[in-house]
Structure 1
Amino acid sequence: MLPSLFICHGSPMMAVEESDYTEFLKETGARFRPKAIVIFSAHWEAGAVTVSFAEGPLPTIYDFGGFPDELYRMTYPAPGSPEIAAKVEEKFLAHGIDTHRDPERGLDHGSWVFLRHMYPNADIPVVTISVNPFLPAAQQIVIGEALRGLGAEGILVIGSGTTVHNFNEIKWKQEHAEPWADEFDQWIADKVVHRDTEALANYERLAPHARRAVPRAEHFVPLLLAYGSSSGEVKPRALFEGFQMGTFSLLCMEM
């Protein structure tokens, strides 16, 4: 039984960095050897749930600008899997969730930046799924619930995003959290650990500093999607806690 994970994908620069966090990613990859990986990526937004049916090797998407040239030379040519994508699609449809197919979608930096540390050989099939940040939190959890059971089949479901993601209050060289950001993160982690679904579904109203921590929801909802997909048989826990630039969380969860 594989758990579901929420992984912070961080800045594109993480692809070339060596740090405590990238070491954590390597160690996490060594813990799990899935037959396939399914990722809800914060960097793929669509109005309807859209599943990548690309066969691969998947193209590397450079959805960022102004970074060193070496980042644009990097590739992560993981295979796709239309077979796994069809299984994902079937589960969504069985739960009354309409889906679209994308036959060409590659891996955006919400996927390949952390995967190159977890699985550097790029030899595990990857299927990505879009997010819609405008749906209510409760509906995000329901969408995730459609994928329950994939962990029992050896498929690792990952929500890729960032819980606290506030560009407007960056402290460029600050490695510790702003107090309000840490308070929000700790609240979210506690509700996940205790499987308080009602509180998570109402985080915008109940969590401290929610509007400040999540000015736009695209990086936060992958946590709710991964939470929904978890089997309930794994005791949730925080795998990594930390901050960059004061207002960018590195929180990762196992669920």
Structure 2
Amino acid sequence: MLSPVFLAHGSPFTIFEQSEFTAFLNQFGKENRPKAIVIFSAHFESEITTIAATDDVHEMEYDYYGFPPEFYQVQYPARGSNIVASIVEERLLERNIPVQRKYRGLDHGVFPIMRHAYPEADIPIVPVSVNAFLPAREQFAIGEALQGLETSGILVIGSGFLTHNFNEIDRNPDAAPRQWAVEFTDWIREKVLARDIESLVNYETLAPHAKRAVPRAEHFVPLLIALGSGTPGRESRVLHSGPIKHGSMSNLSFQF
């Protein structure tokens, strides 16, 4: 079952990491073999929903700074798919959602997790942008436009983080979880598993510590998009629930 998923993408360190989280990604890739992947990355932002369409091998976007040289030499030679890009474009236009094609390579919301899930880079990937400033209900509607792609073997992935506040990150990866991060993450888990869409699209006012957990929404909206793309009435489930790292960063991931 190629049900849509929300995956935490980790930091750039995920690229070379061998951990409980990367073991999960490896197992996920073995259990889910799509014909193509459509991925909404928190690191690909545009005011208009933008599809990075190509049939060629993707370029690399090393969108991070201050890392050792090997982090800028990583290659993930997956191809794109103009056919799948056209399907996504058509679906969005049918819902009167503005869309454009403009190429951009694979960023660190994409290639670190893909290297662990699909190390052979043999599955076409179509990156699609997010707009952090759209209302949550409109984010969900973008996902709704893509419902049923799984029946064609296309896996929809939202890549981000439930919490993403650089001012609250502890350098020690094993620092005790901050209470606000625990409470926010638990609330999101509860509402996702209950498929409580109304609460989730109003998370900014209903979720505990929402402004602290999501000071800017680019890492959160991939969850809403992936959730919207799931089949209505189907149960959501937790794919991975590792400990909160660095005091506030959760790798909690879902399938819808």
Class of the TM-score when normalised by the shorter of the 2 chains:
over 0.9
Cα deviation digits, residues 176-195 of structure 1 (max 9, x gap)? 42111011011111111111
Superposition pairs for residues 1-255 of structure 1, below 5 Å? Answer: 1-102=1-102, 104-175=103-174, 176-232=176-232, 234-241=234-241, 242-255=243-256
Looking at structure 2, the residues matched to 159 and 177 of structure 1 have their Cα atoms a distance apart, in angstroms, of 24
Give, in angstroms, the shift of residue 233 of structure 1: 5.3
Cα deviation digits, residues 28-73 of structure 1 (max 9, x gap)? 1111000000000000110011111122210111011101111111
Give, in angstroms, the shift of residue 238 of structure 1: 1.2
For normalisation by structure 2, the TM-score amounts to: 0.97
Letter of the structure 2 residue corresponding to residue 152 of structure 1:
T
Looking at structure 2, the residues matched to 236 and 254 of structure 1 have their Cα atoms a distance apart, in angstroms, of 6
Looking at structure 2, the residues matched to 136 and 207 of structure 1 have their Cα atoms a distance apart, in angstroms, of 15
Cα 1:233–1:199 shift into 2, 3 Å: closer
Looking at structure 1, the residues matched to 177 and 197 of structure 2 have their Cα atoms a distance apart, in angstroms, of 26
Looking at structure 2, the residues matched to 56 and 118 of structure 1 have their Cα atoms a distance apart, in angstroms, of 21
- How many residues align structurally? 254
For normalisation by structure 1, the TM-score amounts to: 0.97
Looking at structure 2, the residues matched to 243 and 138 of structure 1 have their Cα atoms a distance apart, in angstroms, of 27
Range with bigger deviation, 245-254 or 170-179 = 170-179
Fraction of identical pairs, as percent:
51
Q: Which runs of 5+ in 1 are unaligned?
A: none
Looking at structure 2, the residues matched to 171 and 132 of structure 1 have their Cα atoms a distance apart, in angstroms, of 27
Letter of the structure 1 residue corresponding to residue 158 of structure 2:
G
Give, in angstroms, the shift of residue 243 of structure 1: 1.7
RMSD of equivalent CA atoms = 1.0
Letter of the structure 2 residue corresponding to residue 253 of structure 1:
F
Kept in 2, the 8 Å contact 1:56–1:77? The answer is no
Looking at structure 2, the residues matched to 224 and 134 of structure 1 have their Cα atoms a distance apart, in angstroms, of 13
Letter of the structure 1 residue corresponding to residue 48 of structure 2:
A
Give, in angstroms, the shift of residue 211 of structure 1: 0.4
